[in-house]
Homo-oligomer: A and B are copies of this chain.
Amino acid sequence: MKIVYVLPGPISRTEQGRQEMERRLEILRSYAAPGTHVDIVDVDEGPASIESLYEEYLSIPNTVDLMLEMEKKGYDAAILGCYGDPGLDAVREVTEKMVVVGPGEAGVMAAAMCGYRFSIITVTNSIINPLHHLVEKAGVGKKLASVRAINTPVLELANDRERTIQKLVEEGKKAILEDRADTLVLGCMSMGFLNVAEEMSKELGVPVINPGKTSLKMAEALVGAGISHSKLAYLTPPKISSGQVSSSKGLLVKKNKIVQ
C-alpha cells in the first residue's frame, strides 16, 4: 500500500522546511504498518502557514492539482496535511479511487469511537468556529463537547515544547472538568508531530488523538477495507468528466486584455 502525505504549503522552500519534511516523513514511516510505504510532498506555491480561512482557500487550488498528480502516480491514499481539511471535498471531486483522508475528519471520527464526548484542543481562538463547522460537516457534532485553544501561534509550538504541553494539559483539564469531555483531539497537524499526545494522555487519563498518526491509520484502514469516497457524493466536475478540460488547471480562464 502506498500512502502520500501532501503538504498544502511550500514548506520545502527553506532548508529548515526541508528538514521538517524529512522529520515528519520519518515519523509517519515509523507509524506505518508492515507493507505500507509512505511518501511526503509539498505544493510549489501556497500559504506560508494556515491561520485563517482565507489562507485555507488559498491553499486549495495547488493542493487539488498535486492530489490529482498523486492519484495518477498510483498512490492508494493521500493525507491532506492541514487539520482544517481545506478543499477535502474538492479533492474528492477530482480524484477517482484514491482514498483522501482529512486529518480533521479522521481525528474526530476516531475520537467519537472512544467515548461519549470529545473536545478539540487547537492553536488559536480564530479557528474555534470553523472547527465547529468541520465537526458538523463530518457528522459527529453531537459528540463534540467543546473546541478550546491554547492561543499559541503554530510556529511557536515547537520552540518551547514543555510550555506547549503544559498549556495543552491545562486546556485538556478544563475540557474534561468543565465541558464533560472524556476524549481529546489535538486540533493542529504541527501538534501531531510534536509527539505530545502520549504525554497528555498519561497526564490526563483519557485518550488523546494525534491527528497525524490517526490519519495514517485511517488511510490504511480504508484502503484495506476497499472503501473510498462516494463519487455520487463528490461528483467529478462536469467540465472534466465531459472531457472539455483535461485537468483541474484547465478550469481557470482569463480575460484576454489584448483581444479587447
Q: Which A residues have a C-beta under 8 Å from some C-beta of B?
A: 9-10, 12-13, 31, 33-35, 42, 44-48, 51-58, 60-61, 64, 87, 89-90, 93-94, 105-106, 109-110, 112-117, 124-126, 128-130, 132-133, 136-143, 153, 176, 180, 182-183, 198, 205-207, 209-210, 213-214, 217-218, 220-222, 224-239, 248, 251-256, 259-260
Contacts and interface: CB of A to CB of B under 8 A. Distances in A.
A105 B113 contact: yes
Contact of A112 (B48, B138, B254): B138
Given A54-B90, A139-B140, A142-B136, A254 B10 contact: yes
Contact of A207 (B94, B180, B182, B229): B229
Closest 6 interchain pairs by CB?
A: A115-B233, A52-B237, A115-B230, A182-B233, A221-B221, A139-B143
User: How many copies are assembled?
Assistant: 6
Contacts of A89: 53, 130
Nearest to A13: B255
A55 B129 contact: no
